[in-house]
Structure 1
Amino acid sequence: MTNINQSPSQPLHPVSARNRMLIGAGIGLLVIAFFVVGVDQPNPAWGKWWMIRPLLVTPAAGAMGGLFYYFMDYLRYQGGAKKIAGIVLGVLGHAVAIWLGVVLGLDGTMWD
């Protein structure tokens, strides 16, 4: 007897949550590296290792934004206006997460 596969032809999540989080963290790392690398002479009040916090916080926030984008797959696969809404919400959610990560990471140093 053969088993008949009656599942949908496309999986709901073609890319795993881990991959979306890694992509989101990579985007966050690129964004914060743009700001951190551009500092020629940091303020001595910031401390010697001031760049560690933004380089950790922003990619973590980017990973959470990537996870939010992953959860928006439910809307994107419903088609029509819901697909557009899922894409827009996913991108805006990721942008807000990156922005919050930059603010939290640079708080007390470049963001005063």
Structure 2
Amino acid sequence: MIMNSSSWVTDGPPIKGVLLDISGVLRDGSEAIAGSVDAFDRLIQSGLEVRLVTNESQVTRQSLDKLTRLGFQGVEYDKIFAPAPLLAEQLVRQRHHPVLLVHPKVMKE
């Protein structure tokens, strides 16, 4: 089956949410990627659930305030998923007692 450019929107189950990678999708270094602020705003206004993800181990949720400074409005910290806090939550839930060697910036997480 050949799909036209928009058929993916209507041919499957309804889209309920979107995961966006922060680095390389919303920003490149300390600058917003062209068009990303507008696209992010449109997603927020659409009513879709929007979650932000990053695989940068030295990025903390609090350090992501720079997204707001870059023009991304509506960033909620509880909707940002970074490896350090997720790993810590999982280890606590499973009652492990590891020794973690992490960058000082992620200690609060």
TM tier relative to shorter chain = under 0.3
Give the structure with the larger helix fraction: 1
Please state which structure has a larger fraction of its residues in strand. Answer: 2
**Larger Rg, first or second structure (1 or 2):** 1
Q: Report the TM-score, using the length of structure 2 for normalisation.
A: 0.20
TM score, norm. by length of structure 1? 0.20
